[in-house]
Each structure stands twice: as C-alpha cells, then as structure tokens.
Chain A
Amino acid sequence: MNPVNYLYLSALLFTIGASGVLIRRNAIVLFMCVELMLNASNLALVTFSRLHGTLDGQIIAFFTMVVAAAEVVVGLAIIVSIFRTRHSASVDDSNLMKL
C-alpha cells in the first residue's frame, strides 16, 4: 500500500482532534482529542520514517509517547481537581484563574 495514504489518515485524525478541541466543552473529551492529535502526528512521523528509510521519525514518536503519557498523568490530575472544586468538567466554566 502506498505510504502516502497514511499521511492522509494522519491529517484526517489531526483535523478531527483539532476540531474536537475547538468544539467540545467537556474536559475529558477535549483531552482525548488532544491525544488524538498527538497520535496523528506520531503516525505522520512513523510514515515519514518509512518514506525516508531512516529511524529518526520513529525515535521522535517514542518521545511523543513519553510526553503524552506524562501529560495524561498531569492533565487528568488537574481535571479531577477542577471537577472537585467546581463540580463541572466543562472548560467554559473555568474561564478565570481563580475560583
């Protein structure tokens, strides 16, 4: 199969993620959309690695996964604590830096 198709898929996934971030209000869904975007870029990186016959893209994809894992830990903790204090997971409700 032509590897360029993976790039199309990656662009599609990234667009879905980006529009999700812009449209949805629920913090969890927002979070998942961010993950979607990260993984779309991972897919693109791996595809480029394949196209060029080098390993650089794959290595960067690993880095991205590590960052994404760390981000999940911190981000979920923040979302939980926001939900506890505001009783809402909507990002539009927390439009101030204070309570």
Chain B
Amino acid sequence: MNSLIPLLVAAPLAGAALLLLGGRALDRFGHWLATGLAALSFGFGLVLFSDLLGRDAEHRTVTTRLFSWVPVNGFQADVSFRLDQLSMTFVLLITGVGTLIHLYSVGYMAYDERRRRFFAYLNLFLAAMLLLVVADNYLLLYFGWEGVGLASYLLIGFWQHKPSAATAAKKAFIVNRVGDLGLSIAIMLMFAEFGSFAFGPVFGGASGASEGKLTAIGLMLLLAACGKSAQVPLQSWLGDAMEGPTPVSALIHAATMVTAGVYLIIRSSAIFDLAPDAQTAVVVVGAVTLLFGAVVGCAKDDIKKALAGSTMSQIGYMVMAAGLGPIGYAFAIMHLVTHGFFKAGLFLGAGSVMHGMNDEVDMRRYGGLRKYMPWTYRTFAVGYLAIIGVPPLSGFFSKDKIIEAAFAKGGTEGWILGLCALVGAAVTAFYMTRVMLLTFFGEKRWQPDAQGNAPHPHESPSTMTVPMVLLALGSACAGGIFAYHDAFLKWLEPVTGHSEGNPPFGSWTVSGLTTACMLAGVGVSYLMYGRSPVPVVPPVGSPLTRAARRDLLQDDFNHAVLVRPGSALTATLVFFDSRGLDGFVNGLAATIGGLSSRMRRVQNGFVRSYALSMFGGTLLLVASTLLVRSF
C-alpha cells in the first residue's frame, strides 16, 4: 500500500511533464489525458482511503521514504511521505474536486488554443498540492508550497495577453513570497531548535522547547498561512487572482490551494498548542479576515470577485477555528472540505454563467438567468443554500460547529469571537443572497456589448454541468454525512485531538442563533435587491460601500505604507548610486581619459620630435646619474 503514496503525486506530475514536453501531437487528446491522470490519482486516493479505514484508528499513520534528498552530515532531508487521516482528507478533496474541475475545464476551455498548456498547469498544480499535503517534513512541504505558488502564478496569468491578468499574476506571486519568507524562516527556526524539520522530531521536541521560540515559529507559520490563504494583512492578491480562468478560481483560489494555510496551522498543531500567544494571533487574523472578506463580498458587482470575498471570509472562519486549538481543529477541516465542495460548485456555476453571457462578469448585467440556464441555476442554488448554512445542507453543519467552538473558547474572548462569527454568518447570507438575486432572478438586464453582440444565454455543455451537479450533491450531503454520529470528528481525532471546551450554552441555542442571523441576512438582502429593479449603473452608495468596492482600501493601504516608502528608498539609493558611486567612478575615468588625450599629442609622427625626446631622456638620465654620483 505504501508504494501507492508516491504514485499519487507521480500521476499528475507525469501528466504535466507529458503535456508540456509532448508538443502539438498531444493537442487533440491532451486534456483527456490530464483528466484521466487526475482521476487515476483520485483512484489511488480511494484505494489508500479504504486501506486506512481497514486499520485501527491508532494505526492509520503510514509513512514511506522514497529517497534521500539532501544527504549531508547533520542535515538530512528525505523525500518521505506521511499519510494520516488529515492528509488523507486533503488528498481526497484535492483529487476529487480536482478531477471534476479537470472535466469541467474540458468544456470551458474547449475553444482556447493553449488548452494543452492549461491542462499541463492544472496537473502540475495537483502534483504540487498533493506533495504539500503528503510530505513528511517541512522542507518537502515547502517544496510543494512553492510548487502550488508557481502553478497559481502560471494559471492566474494564463491569459497573459491581458495586461490585467499578467499584473494580477505578478501581484499574487509577490504577495505570496512574503508569506513564503515566513515559512522558510519558520523552517530555519525549527532546524535551529530541534535539529530537524521532519514532522516526528519537531512535534516530539516541541514540549521541550521554550515558549518564546515556539511563539516565534508559530507566528512565522501564521505569516506563511496568511500569504497562501489570503488572510489579512496579505489578502490583497486574491481578488485580482480572479483574472485567471474560472476553473482555476474554483480549484486553486477556492477549494484547495488557499486552504493550504489552514492545513499548515493544523499540521503544526503541536507547536501552536504550546504557544498561546501565537494561537491568539491566529484567532485574531481569522476573525478579522472573516469580517473583512464578508464586507468586501457585499459590495462587489463582479460575480467572481464577490465569490472571492466570500472565499476569504470562509477561510477566515477556518483559520479562526484552527486558532481555537483542539476545540476547533477538526471543525476547521470539516468546514474546509464542505467549503471545497460548495465554493468550487459556486465558482463553476459562475463560470457557466460567464460562458453563456459572452464572458460578462458584472452581475448588474445579468438577471433572470434561471430560465435560460436551469442546471446552472439549480446547482448554484444548492451551493448558495449550503454556504449560507441552511439546514440540513453541508454549510450548516460545518459553520455551526465553528461558531459553537468559538463560543466554547470561553470568557470574553469566546464571546467576541462567537459574535464575530455570528455577524459573519449574517453578512454571508446577505451577500450570497445578493449574488443569487442579481444573477438568476429579477428582470433581464443584459445589453449588447460594444461590438453590438447581444448575449444569448444558454446552458453549458454536459462536461460542464456534470461536475457542477456532482459538486452540488457533495455540497448538499457532505455536511450531514460528516456530522452523522460525529463521524468526521472521530476520523480526525487521533491526529488533531479534540476537546469540548466550555460552551456557555447548548448546541441547539447556537444553531438557532446562527439560523436567525442567516435569515436576517437573507431578509435584508431580499428587501434591497429582490423587491425593486436593480439599476445597471451601480448607485454611489455609502462611504463603507465605496470603500468595500475598492477592497476596503487594501491596495491604497499597501501603496501608502509599503510601495511609497519602498519607492522613496529605491529612489534615494539610485540617486546615491548614480551621483555618488557612479560620479566617482566616471570622474576618475574622465580624468584619465583627459590626461591620456593630452599625452596622445606627444605621438605626432614627426621623427625629429621623437629624436628630441630621446635626447631629452638621455640628458635626464646622464644628469641624474651625475647628480647621484656627486653625493
């Protein structure tokens, strides 16, 4: 069985290599090859899953060592894999959703002339992401971490002929680098402290380390998670990342890659459990982001950017839950998986709408699409009900548990977090209802574009609708299955541990509160967008709306705090360099040049003047010899 784990990564990696190196010969069937390899990887995942299920709960951690990567004395890095309940969950999510999105892309990218390359990048992403979650040491995890960053960069900028896409790709890459720096520093700290970065020695040695060092490692890991998972303060790249093709947004920027930060935190739970300050930082980041993303999601008219705000907010929930400690770990992962289903489904639905609407993304130019795209409408509606947490769909179970865990933290902290989460739930219901109403209900608001092509909304081909239906099924049922007899909790408990905390009130009260908040959000949204016609030109709006349209001024903030001082610093350095250093060097060169051009005149070509200089020289020699002799 162990030998299957490397194959899990190898299958999509081989696909990426084949498609990138294979050339035009693979143009006709390359996309099916990529989809097949993703499905193969999913098949391996299922086999491994059934194998794990057949074991005792305590013996479900499988490790296998492939080869020694960096065999240096005192610094051993192996390519070794660890498959336990946590990574198994991720493997199934990544390969399962990944396969569906490959299938969807077959239809979505059918007319793109660079389709083969697109599928190669998708496979590359799968391989890197799988490597990230099955790695048995932080260095290999870092390798996968960088790999998904690369794939994300390549795919955001896939339509590189659009300057906005190229810029967005660079932005994502650069912001992610800041986070990656955190991860590399964390790994160095681990090596300095524990003498190793393999999971076993690090987690085993954590209890012997000082709290200060663990806090430092934890904060650096949090920085890494912020970058990859688009958490405040490194959130600015996610909205722009929507420039990529929609399947990419669904797979990478909703379901899998952006959740890598949550994985990192929970994987390092042994460190965070012993560093309460770092945990507090994680909780604060999560709570701030869940509100931040929700507010941004409310104001965006671009359907993908509204969903991106929502993704940020939902990951905020997960990060917050991960920061709660053993109370929240399992629920963070549970929400992560259900979110993977419904958010991927929502993005695929958005892609299907854009596909039928000449790539229009402005929701104010949609309206009344439910008649034209029945399957898209139905699957989107299931995703919508799931994300706002309508019982008994999956979002209800997972989000409810997180809110419960937030209250269970206890004390003032628990109350603040719980209320934040409740407000977040209400705002989630508000903006998702808004998306739903603007897109599928109301009157038609679409108009011919600049070239006079009126959109003809139509349902997408079956390669696109089938994955949407399957994801909708997952969004509907996953939560119930996971929550049935706490199955998911029991599955993850051996890895993450679990404690109940001390909730101030029972779980039914929390469910009631959450549902009430959700209904309030839906109601307000209906009053604002459901009853009166929606203007095509967005109204000016309140200062908060205007700020939220600009992503709550995140770019202005980054510009003022980071870009301006940075530019000023470089301008100073350039000035010093060009005037100071270059001035000195150039002045020296000019002096020597001037001197030599004067010396050059001595070489005039007249024999007699050469003779004169010879005589003069001889005279000097003789005179100096005599002078020296006379002393």
Shortest Cβ gap from A31 to chain B (Å): 11
Among A2-10, A46-54, A64-72, A89-97, the stretch that binds chain B is A89-97
How many chain-B residues does the 8 Å CB contact rule pick out?
Answer: 8
A97 to chain B: which residues have CB within 8 Å?
Answer: 605
Shortest Cβ gap from A39 to chain B (Å): 18
Q: What CA separation (Å) do A22 and B611 show in the bound complex?
A: 7
Cβ of B607 under 8 Å from chain A? yes
1/0 per position for B601-620, CB-CB distance to A under 8 A? Answer: 00011111001100100000
A21–B611 contact, CB under 8 A? yes
Partner of A92, one of B606, B611, B612, B615: B606
Q: What CA separation (Å) do A96 and B615 show in the bound complex?
A: 22
B606–A95 contact, CB under 8 A? yes
Q: What CA separation (Å) do A16 and B606 show in the bound complex?
A: 20
B606–A91 contact, CB under 8 A? yes
1/0 per position for B590-609, CB-CB distance to A under 8 A? Answer: 00000000000000111110
In terms of DSSP, what is the predominant structure of the interface of chain A? loop
A22–B605 contact, CB under 8 A? no
B606 to chain A: which residues have CB within 8 Å?
Answer: 91-92, 95
1/0 per position for A28-63, CB-CB distance to B under 8 A? Answer: 001000000000000000000000000000000000
B605–A21 contact, CB under 8 A? no
B605–A18 contact, CB under 8 A? no
A95–B605 contact, CB under 8 A? yes
Q: What CA separation (Å) do A99 and B538 show in the bound complex?
A: 85
A95 to chain B: which residues have CB within 8 Å?
Answer: 604-607
The CB with the most chain B CB atoms within 10 A, among A21, A23, A94, A97, is that of A21
B605–A96 contact, CB under 8 A? yes
Q: What CA separation (Å) do A97 and B603 show in the bound complex?
A: 12
User: B residues touching A (Cβ–Cβ < 8 Å)?
Assistant: 604-608, 611-612, 615
Q: List 17 A-B contacts (CB under 8 A).
A: A18-B615, A21-B608, A21-B611, A22-B612, A22-B615, A23-B608, A25-B608, A30-B607, A30-B608, A91-B606, A91-B607, A91-B608, A92-B607, A92-B608, A95-B604, A95-B606, A96-B605
User: A residues touching B (Cβ–Cβ < 8 Å)?
Assistant: 18, 21-23, 25, 30, 91-92, 94-97
Question: Closest 7 CB pairs between A and B?
Answer: A95-B605, A91-B607, A21-B611, A95-B606, A22-B612, A96-B605, A22-B608
